[in-house]
Structure 1
Amino acid sequence: MKESVQQDATLSLSVGQAYVAPDRRYHRSSMSVRIPEQPLLGCKGVSAVISDSTSRNSIAKQAGDLSVRGFLADYYSTPEHWDIKTSATRVLYALNSWCFSQSRHVAGGSYIASLSAMVFRGSEAHLFHMGDTLVFRLRGAEFEQLSRDHVTDLGGYRYPSRALGMDASIDIDYIKTPLKQGDLFLFTTRAVGGTLMPSDYVQLIRQDASNLDAACERLCDEAQARAQERGYAGSAFCFQLLRVDQLPEEESDEPGKVYGDLPVPPELEAGDRLDGLEVQEVLSRTAQSRVYRVHDVHGGREMVMKAPSPELSSRNAYLEHFLLQQWVVERVNSPFVAKVMEASRPRRYLYYLMRYIDGERLSDWARRHPQASLSQRLDIARQLGKAVQALHRRDLLHQQIHPDNVLIDSHGQVVLADFSACRLREGDGHKRSRELARQLGLTEHSAPEYALDDDVGRRSDQYALASTIYWLLTGQLPYELPPHQLRGHTDLERLSYRSARIANPEVNPDLDKALRRALDPQRALRFRRLSEFLVTLREPKEEARRRTSPRVFREPANFWQGIAGILLVLLVLSWLLR
């Protein structure tokens, strides 16, 4: 590879790389450096990443490549107002959850990989490390390992521990270190263990430090030669070097402490303007937020603006989550989930924009269409189920599924909105997710575990979805005592499911049985996967058969009577023709 040099007013870096794999089967490492354009360069910096899976992993190459690409793509998609630590850790938590969940569907392999990512911005470097990849710093004659080795010995083999995708939760090493002009950072993998000594690294790099690609090639050649001497078969090596050529003369301002320096917008009314956005209508005012329908004066677009409530301007924890809402929704690509829109002008206040849906809430639709058919209601239920599935695929919990958060446009398209309580899945029983949902307020469709301080998860969303569908089909709630009013686990015994067929005889027994299971007060007894519940929302095959088959064949008795009639006619004809 050719040496890549980036010159910027804030930071100048040189990059070199080299990789050698005697056999494609041993290709399990991945590395990359991304130097973005402004303004991302100023607020997010330069990222260098290296990843490595194990040789016994059948999808080692995919695991390494995916972790590197995933980090770089998602890190530079985080809000500009997040600081580097917040951005990187949020991305790694999300990436870990996805890798862990996907590994369960792979036979003979997994998306487990060690990963080290370093972000260079201003006069500081931020290192995020998991597993056993190696990061060294060469400063003058001092050669220091910055990363920690997380390994486990099993049967004579050393396996990485605390690696990406290994567990539902993840522990990330974080180091912030000041930069000095001339600093060299070396990224490599555990495969180099037993080949090169610290003095070898220094000597090979210093032979011609002006050409980093050549230095990486020398490291590869020497490591390969040492491996062959020791009888290592098929060893693959990769090296990545970054050199700090120039530091900024003055330290640039940090682009925000989680929520940035942007102020919370004041109370707005119809006709007010903010950042080129004219308020057309106030859609919602709650204790936590304000929602407005706005018109982009410059772009001509109709959008929805969501901003924190002015009285919450000093509640930093909520403002941190407010910006998280925008990021998590940007990760979801589904026609059934509201989309975040880019502003046409720089923002001077704290808010985010979403596509405007010309429609009505599900609660209003149900009041206006009391005679809607079962087929129409099931179609809405299926679309809503697909919206929840889209969130779960990105390891997100919605936590606020109820009729007022579901929109239906003029074409019957369902869109799930309001992500005030939406959070990434976590490995601590989702304690923080549960606390956020309770802070924002539980509804009559919330699962019992929220009121009882039990663990919450995807099946909690399943309950809320099933409760909303039950209400859509019957106009009632499945339990006389709303679960969000429970005071203790003994109250669970008072929850007695009311069959949906009592309120709506059109609901078939199979669908009623599925609703009962999805609405079980005990989270563990609900459907293991949401897809299992959604299958039951299809229109019954028996009904479809009845609509397409002749009336005489719809009932078994009619069928056999028809056969007997035909045989009688044939018998009479055979008797007359004798």
Structure 2
Amino acid sequence: MPATLTLSLGQHSTRGRKETNQDFHGALVPERAALLLKGGVVAIADGIGSSPVSHVASETAVRSFLADYYDTPDSWSVRTAASRVIAATNSWLHAETRRNRHLHDPDGSRDRGYVTTFTALVLKSRTAHIFHVGDARVSRVVRRSLEALTEDHRVVVSAQESYLARALGAAAHVEIDHRTVALEAGDVFVLTTDGVHEHIRPEAIVAEITRHGDDLDRAAQEIARHAYENGSDDNLTVQIVRIDALPDGEAAELSGRVDDLPPAPVLDPPTTFDGYRVLRTLHASHRSHVYLATDPESGRPVALKVPSTDLQADPAGLRRLMMEEWVARRIDSPHVLSAPPQTRRRSHLYTVMDYVEGRTLAQWMRDNPRPELEAVRGIVEQIAVGVRAFHRREMVHRDLRPHNILIDAAGTVRIIDFGSTRIGGLAEDDPVIDESVQGTIQYAAPECLAGRPATPGSDIFSVGVIAYQMLTGHLPYGTEAARAFSPARADRLHYRSVAAARAGLPAYVDAALRKAVHPRPAQRYDALSAFVHDLRHPNPSLPGVRRAALLERDPVLFWKLVSLVLAVAVVYLLVRSRA
């Protein structure tokens, strides 16, 4: 089966009986790498007829989407990337209309601003994603007719009068319809503006597509011509997309197919491998071997990770190994391990990461069995910054644990080991493969153990467990958490207060930890920033936390008020004594 999605495309647009063409359309099918990461895009827009600048709005909507969608992070899902680009375009169009007040009629009866419909079809892997605002249409050929895949956002007042209920640029915020459709080889999709589909029967559209075979441009022209001859007085735009071949669905091709190169062998330092000078072994496990090496070209130290002998026969494991470097290149944070630029071709499968000298958090915990609360807060705050960098890229680390957190000599904390990371763009293409890794059982959230998709809340759970363990040397649920493979078992978990494990810790810290590691995702923090804040500041909304006295919250203000009261009392006594 072909390794990439293969499409055929036909397009046509004409002003018809109007003086100008207020429609705009476009398509982009990128090269192999971008096609795997982002898919191909077909977009169509129809500016409102009452506006002298609607053609600018429709062109802006299509051009912006085709350019900006491909500039969004590779890790984002199609829905996240497309929705944010459309929302940004809507904001710009609406702002332009407000800036140009003359574009509104004095009585407000007719909108003359930067307003347009917008519909996009994103074809990625084996799925079609439809984003829709307005009354253009996406349909799919089914036998001899069309299956409508969008609904017109139009309010019908009478047989002679109707108006758009939704359009880009009409308001500060826009509601976007999103729908996904599974693709099959041979599928044909048709995008039309209302000047076309209101004046030609679906059967006639299918007949023209069938009649012209591979000449889809000619089919689009003939469909527009029939609508014109049937009396359409509007602009006419038609796009036709045929799915010629589908990929095999393995979205892990993001970093290249694992069968293109052989796995790197286990090395015996000191040695030279692929131009790197391998100095010594840093770590070895049943999954991989990590070596300290230097790059002679740059002189910088690097960490080479090669698959273990057991992993070399595991394609899924090799994909996860290769994904680590892919993830590292897409996250820019001082608290996430980075990867150096790739400057040479590789002869084998392995990863190259920046080398950071330090110790793992697990080693730090052994060296500091009873750390100060402030030290724990500082480390947790740095972990949170790194984790939030994952979440902004629509990634969930899924394997946060002390062995995967590195602390260098300066005290900087870095998250490492990205082999279990859940990537939004990968999960939407092949969720079964993506959910096969669930992290380390002692730190994994109950919903992950139950086989449900990991969310940012799952990482919050893991960070909470780490913070609890740093303070107490124990896990919040002991060994019970490892058996929480169902919601019922998770509900039976019994949280052990940190006060029982280590006396003297503030009650509000215990309350924050309890919320962070709650077995039910809905009961946890929505954001790591809130957890970090509550570790430092009593949150009266949490059970068991009283509102701190003013002396605790603001000692300076407290003593100022005391001084004021005393001063008033002294003045009062002086006045009374003289009386």
Aligned to 1:435: 436
Distance 2:335 2:422 in 1: 18
Q: Report 1:115-194 matches (<5 A).
A: 115-117=121-123, 129-131=128-130, 151-152=149-150, 170-173=180-183, 175=185, 189=192, 192-193=196-197
SS in 1 for 2:353: strand
Cα deviation, residue 392, structure 1: 2.1
Moved more, 469-478 or 540-549: 540-549
Cα deviation, residue 467, structure 1: 0.8
Q: Which amino acid in structure 2 is aligned with residue 331 of structure 1?
A: R
Distance 1:62 1:284 in 2: 53
Give 1:514's match in structure 2, choosing from 512, 526, 532: 512
Q: Report 1:79-478 matches (<5 A).
A: 94-99=77-82, 114-117=120-123, 129-131=128-130, 151-152=149-150, 170-173=180-183, 175=185, 189=192, 192-193=196-197, 226=228, 229-232=231-234, 235=235, 237=237, 258-369=257-368, 372-425=371-424, 426=427, 432-437=433-438, 442-454=440-452, 456-478=454-476
Q: Which amino acid in structure 1 is aligned with residue 292 of structure 2?
A: R
Aligned to 2:105: none
Q: Which amino acid in structure 2 is aligned with residue 475 of structure 1?
A: G
Give 2:522's match in structure 1, choosing from 510, 521, 524: 524
Q: Note if contact 1:362-1:403 (Cα within 8 Å) is conserved in structure 2.
A: yes
| Change over 3 Å in CA distance of 1:149–1:507 after alignment to 2 | farther
SS in 2 for 1:340: coil
Cα deviation, residue 402, structure 1: 0.8
| Change over 3 Å in CA distance of 1:464–1:543 after alignment to 2 | farther
Q: Note if contact 1:391-1:398 (Cα within 8 Å) is conserved in structure 2.
A: yes
SS in 1 for 2:365: helix
- Please give the per-residue CA displacement for 1:107-165, whole angstroms capped at 9, x wherever unaligned: 999x99532559xxxxxxx99744465899xxxxxxx99x9855155798999xxxxx8
Distance 2:554 2:77 in 1: 48
- Please give the per-residue CA displacement for 1:281-338, whole angstroms capped at 9, x wherever unaligned: 3222222222222211122122222232233222222223333333344333333222
- Please give the per-residue CA displacement for 1:480-512, whole angstroms capped at 9, x wherever unaligned: 334124466664465221222444556443332
- Please give the per-residue CA displacement for 1:238-262, whole angstroms capped at 9, x wherever unaligned: 76999xxxxxxxxxxx999831321
In the superposition, the TM-score normalised over structure 1's length comes to 0.65
Aligned to 2:41: 49
Aligned to 1:32: 28
Q: Note if contact 2:13-2:23 (Cα within 8 Å) is conserved in structure 1.
A: no
Moved more, 268-277 or 188-197: 188-197
Cα deviation, residue 350, structure 1: 0.3
| Change over 3 Å in CA distance of 1:551–1:201 after alignment to 2 | closer
Q: Note if contact 1:384-1:416 (Cα within 8 Å) is conserved in structure 2.
A: yes
Structure 1 unmatched ranges of 5 or more: 1-12, 78-90, 119-125, 137-143, 160-164, 178-184, 243-253
Q: Report 1:2-81 matches (<5 A).
A: 29-32=25-28, 34=30, 49-52=41-44, 68-69=66-67, 72=70
Q: Which amino acid in structure 2 is aligned with residue 481 of structure 1?
A: T
Distance 2:180 2:80 in 1: 9
| Change over 3 Å in CA distance of 1:401–1:481 after alignment to 2 | same
- Percent identity over paired residues: 22
| Change over 3 Å in CA distance of 1:282–1:377 after alignment to 2 | same
Aligned to 2:158: none
| Change over 3 Å in CA distance of 1:236–1:370 after alignment to 2 | farther
SS in 2 for 1:399: coil
Cα deviation, residue 363, structure 1: 2.0
| Change over 3 Å in CA distance of 1:288–1:493 after alignment to 2 | same
Q: Note if contact 1:429-1:456 (Cα within 8 Å) is conserved in structure 2.
A: no
SS in 1 for 2:28: strand
Aligned to 2:51: none
Q: Note if contact 2:490-2:519 (Cα within 8 Å) is conserved in structure 1.
A: yes
| Change over 3 Å in CA distance of 1:268–1:482 after alignment to 2 | farther
Aligned to 1:139: none
Q: Note if contact 1:127-1:175 (Cα within 8 Å) is conserved in structure 2.
A: no
SS in 1 for 2:258: coil
Q: Note if contact 1:50-1:133 (Cα within 8 Å) is conserved in structure 2.
A: no
Distance 2:558 2:496 in 1: 36
Distance 2:239 2:482 in 1: 55
Cα root mean square deviation, aligned: 5.7
Structure 2 unmatched ranges of 5 or more: 1-7, 49-53, 95-114, 131-136, 156-163, 166-175, 243-252, 540-547
Distance 1:506 1:60 in 2: 64
Q: Note if contact 1:288-1:312 (Cα within 8 Å) is conserved in structure 2.
A: yes
SS in 2 for 1:472: helix
SS in 1 for 2:318: helix
Aligned to 2:133: none
| Change over 3 Å in CA distance of 1:451–1:308 after alignment to 2 | same
Q: Note if contact 2:302-2:355 (Cα within 8 Å) is conserved in structure 1.
A: yes
Distance 1:447 1:547 in 2: 34
Cα deviation, residue 53, structure 1: 7.2
Q: Which amino acid in structure 2 is aligned with residue 435 of structure 1?
A: S
Q: Note if contact 1:29-1:61 (Cα within 8 Å) is conserved in structure 2.
A: yes
Cα deviation, residue 470, structure 1: 1.7
Q: Which amino acid in structure 1 is aligned with residue 476 of structure 2?
A: P
Q: Note if contact 1:186-1:240 (Cα within 8 Å) is conserved in structure 2.
A: yes
Cα deviation, residue 391, structure 1: 1.6
Q: Note if contact 1:264-1:309 (Cα within 8 Å) is conserved in structure 2.
A: no
Q: Which amino acid in structure 2 is aligned with residue 348 of structure 1?
A: S
- Please give the per-residue CA displacement for 1:382-413, whole angstroms capped at 9, x wherever unaligned: 22122222222222221101111112233332
Cα deviation, residue 452, structure 1: 3.8
| Change over 3 Å in CA distance of 1:261–1:471 after alignment to 2 | same
Number of aligned pairs? 490
Q: Note if contact 1:204-1:219 (Cα within 8 Å) is conserved in structure 2.
A: no
SS in 1 for 2:291: strand
Cα deviation, residue 515, structure 1: 1.8
Q: Which amino acid in structure 2 is aligned with residue 230 of structure 1?
A: S
| Change over 3 Å in CA distance of 1:347–1:404 after alignment to 2 | same
| Change over 3 Å in CA distance of 1:512–1:348 after alignment to 2 | same
Q: Which amino acid in structure 1 is aligned with residue 232 of structure 2?
A: R
Distance 1:371 1:423 in 2: 33
